[in-house]
Chain A
Amino acid sequence: MGSEARKRARERIKEQREKEKKAAQRNKTLLVVGAAAAVVLLVVGIGYVVLSSDRGDDYEGELAQQTLQDDGSVVMGDGSVVTGDEGAEAPVVEVYADYQCPACKQFEGLNGDTLKEMAAEGEATVQYHIVSIFAQQPAPTSSNSLRAAVAGRASADHGVFVEYNDVLFENQPNSNEEGYSIDELEGWFGDLGVTDEQQAAFGERLEQEDAVITEFTEEFVPALMSAAEEEIGQENLGTMVLPDLLAWGEDNGHDTSFLDGTYTGEIIDATGTAYTRYSGENAFRGTPSVYVNGELLDNDDAMTVRGLTDTVEAAGPGQVESEPADDTDDGGGAE
């Protein structure tokens, strides 16, 4: 046994130690990574349970009475279910939505049933305003939005707006593709168990509106836009909402009389009214907009079940500002 052998033995021991040290280090790393993964799972898991708890229950019960209003909106419930009193005792929740707007679809999916339940139990009077914030965009975004809007409006003539509203949002097309075809719209309407006369009236109304929408989105708006762009510049045009643009058009020879008496025109008017009706913090800026007694809700309140429920519970009685549409009107166009 020379010093050579001893040296080799020492080296072997040293190597062995190195190996063990590395193995220990590897185990430590695995342990730490495992702990980190556990932290991630815990945070995501608990968070998911908490967030999911806000998803409301489906409402399968009887719907509150729905009443078409003279401005084309629909009021669900009258707030007098519980008290039996005439007039509104419940807060008024107003919803402005565009069928082509993805956030509106999210709102409906999340809180549509919350609203139905509150209306059925007399906790709220719900007013649906159909608008088209996309009406001045290029087709098919604009035409999809308007076709669905007039179909929603027409369904209100037959007392099935709330049901049809759900179907429209469920079937929201991609905004870059032609969707909400007349055939589809009629089919979904038929699925609601309507009579043959109702189906025929609905179909006829849609055919008429379709021609108006085509003229509006493919001729009127492009012509108006290019004229306005030339006269007042791209920059100013960008700040103009549809009613401003139409008013400018009226002054500059762009005749809107083809919209008179049509639901398309009514939707465009309703959109304009939304922009002018509120001011300051409550100003209407887009969809979905949810107001409780005229106060605009922020996203935390509108887009969570708890937020909306709490806000409505805390609100006092409200007043519906529109009047019910004339009963003798058989869908021939409220003004």
Chain B
Amino acid sequence: MIDAAEESPAAPGPGRSRWETVQPWLTLACRVGLAAVLITAAVTKYPPALSVEAVEAYELFPPEIAELIGYTLPLFELALALLLLIGLATRYTGIVSALLMVAFIAGILSAMARGLSIDCGCFGGGGQVDPGETTYGISIARDLGFTALGAFIAIWPRSPFALDRALGLFR
């Protein structure tokens, strides 16, 4: 992992490949995009009473835990968005974001497998819906896309406008 960070300051000037020029901007785009997604997800989950309901609909947790998740998950999403925007611990934030999306996908798959008819509650909403109105496929595809953004950031963390740079990481 440290290798990538060490290699990158090398090869300035004409030896620089096209990828090396383009990649930091792609990573920046991923950071901003994923942060926008996370902020939207967090804000639409307000007020927390509805977010708790969305978590309970998955029928995976006892009520106390569901309530805790309902309150803290949107905050966690906000915190990740903040880290992505300021570019702190970029690689690790990317990993955690991708893992979070994988956890979401697992949750949706489990709801599907148990025959629940719920809204994923990814961007607000949530709770029971008519069996014909579930959109598990779309939700999973969307989350796969977000996982890819997180993975891209984790693999190529070097990007402009990042606090990491000032601190000497992923330069």
Contact = CB atoms under 8 A, between A and B. Distances in A.
Interface of A: 22, 25-26, 28-29, 31-33, 35-36, 39-40, 42-44, 47-48, 51-52, 54, 102-103, 105-107, 109-110, 174-176, 238, 299-300, 303-304, 307
A33 B47 contact: no
B98 interface: no
Interface of B: 1-2, 5-6, 46-50, 52-53, 56-57, 59, 71-72, 74-76, 78-80, 82-83, 88-89, 92-93, 116, 127-128, 132, 164, 167-169
Contact of B79 (A28, A44, A52, A176): A44
A36 B170 CA distance: 15
Contact of A102 (B5, B48, B57): B57
B79 A43 contact: yes
A153 B111 CA distance: 34
A40 B76 contact: yes
Contact of A28 (B76, B88, B167): B167
Contacts of B5: 25, 29
30 contacts: A22-B2, A28-B167, A28-B168, A28-B169, A31-B167, A32-B89, A33-B92, A35-B88, A36-B89, A36-B92, A39-B79, A39-B88, A40-B83, A42-B79, A43-B78, A43-B82, A47-B74, A47-B78, A48-B71, A52-B71, A103-B50, A105-B53, A106-B49, A106-B52, A106-B53, A107-B49, A174-B59, A175-B128, A300-B47, A303-B47
A13 B67 CA distance: 57
A307 B47 CA distance: 10
Nearest to A306: B47
A72 B1 CA distance: 68
B2 A48 contact: no
Given A32-B88, A303-B47, A48 B53 contact: no
A39 B75 contact: no
Contacts of B132: 238
Nearest to B132: A238
Given A47-B78, A107-B49, A39 B83 contact: yes
Contact of A51 (B6, B48, B59): B48
A22 B127 CA distance: 50
Contacts of A51: 48, 71, 75
B50 to A, nearest CB: 6
Contacts of A33: 89, 92
B88 A36 contact: yes
Contacts of A106: 49-50, 52-53
Contacts of A39: 79, 82-83, 88
Contacts of B47: 54, 299-300, 303-304, 307
Contact of A36 (B6, B72, B93, B168): B93
A165 to B, nearest CB: 17
A76 B88 CA distance: 54
A48 B48 CA distance: 10
Nearest to A110: B49
A67 to B, nearest CB: 28
Contacts of B52: 106
Given A28-B169, A32-B88, A36-B89, A102 B75 contact: no
A35 B93 CA distance: 12
Contacts of B82: 39, 43
Contacts of A176: 116
Given A51-B48, A106-B50, A176-B116, 20 more contacts: A25-B5, A28-B167, A28-B169, A29-B1, A29-B169, A32-B169, A36-B93, A40-B79, A43-B78, A44-B79, A47-B74, A47-B75, A48-B71, A51-B71, A51-B75, A102-B53, A106-B53, A110-B49, A303-B47, A303-B50
A44 B50 contact: no
B127 A48 contact: no
Contacts of A299: 47, 50
A177 to B, nearest CB: 10
A102 B79 contact: no
Contacts of B72: 44, 47-48
